[in-house]
Amino acid sequence: GQQLNQSPQSMFIQEGEDVSMNCTSSSIFNTWLWYKQDPGEGPVLLIALYKAGELTSNGRLTAQFGITRKDSFLNISASIPSDVGIYFCAGLYGGATNKLIFGTGTLLAVQP
Partner 1 sequence: DGGITQSPKYLFRKEGQNVTLSCEQNLNHDAMYWYRQDPGQGLRLIYYSQIVNDFQKGDIAEGYSVSREKKESFPLTVTSAQKNPTAFYLCASSADRGMRSGYTFGSGTRLTVV
Question: Contact at 8 Å (CB) between 60 and 51?
Answer: no
CB atoms within 10 A of CB 92: 17
Helix, strand, coil percentages in the chain from 3-state DSSP, rounded to 5? 5, 55, 45
Interface pick for partner 1 out of 41, 59, 82, 112 (rule CB under 8 A)? 41
Pick 16 or 94: Cβ nearer partner 1 = 94
Output 66 or 105, the one with its CB closest to partner 1. 105
Q: Does 51 bind partner 1 (CB under 8 A)?
A: no
Per-residue contact string for residues 4-33; x = within reach of partner 1 by CB under 8 A: ---------------------------x-x
Q: Cα(50)–Cα(16) distance, rounded to whole angstroms? A: 30
Question: Sign of the C-alpha dihedral, residues 26, 27, 28, 30?
Answer: negative
Residues 71-110 that bind partner 1 (CB under 8 A): 88, 90, 92, 94, 98-100, 102-105, 107
Binding site for partner 1 (CB under 8 A): 1, 3, 31, 33, 35, 40-45, 48, 50, 88, 90, 92, 94, 98-100, 102-105, 107
